[in-house]
Amino acid sequence: MNYEEIEKAGKVRRFAVKGGNGADIIDLETLPMVAHTRQGAGSVHHVAFAVENRAAQLEVRKALKDTGYHVTPVIDRDYFWAIYFRTPGGVLFEVATNEPGFDRDEDTAHLGEALKLPTQHEHLRPWLEQNLQPLGD
């Protein structure tokens, strides 16, 4: 992730990825007097970032650990590998790889036509198949 700081206005710092894909700007605001985050209705569970491959992810993981963050080991999510860490304010961040990708178990021309689940959620298939609303055509 090659973010470059492009703007600073008071407590807000803006970072951008040159040539990004539309999700290429991050605004960070320092709010030292705000309470630690809590999970609940209306809150964001986590913020995810993508890296091209596992090598890039390991570089990010090392940089985070070298900075003092507690980072999870790499977790295989079938469609990508993920690491997680919390900011000092308690927000959960994920750094996931673009590989192997969502086409690892189905033809690209038919992505999304069948219910595909990562291994850790396969036990939910009967309930999901019975309770998910069909997508409209």
Task: Convert the pLDDT of each residue in 123-133 to its tens digit.
Answer: 999 999 999 98
pLDDT above 90 (res 8): no
pLDDT tens digits, residue range 72-105? 999 999 999 999 999 887 889 999 999 999 999 9
Identify the sign of the CA torsion 124, 129, 134, 137. Answer: positive
Q: Structure pTM? A: 0.75
Give the pLDDT of residue 2. Answer: 66
Q: What percent of the chain has pLDDT over 90?
A: 50
Strand 75-76 relative to strand 80-86: parallel, antiparallel, unpaired? Answer: antiparallel
- Long-range residue pairs from 120-129, CB within 8 A, at least 24 positions apart, any chain: 120/77, 120/78
Rg of the chain taking only CA atoms, in angstroms: 18
Domains of the chain by range and CATH?
Answer: 1-34 (no CATH), 35-131 (3.10.180.10)
- Tell me what pLDDT residue 59 has: 96
Tens of pLDDT, residues 18-38: 777 777 788 888 777 877 777
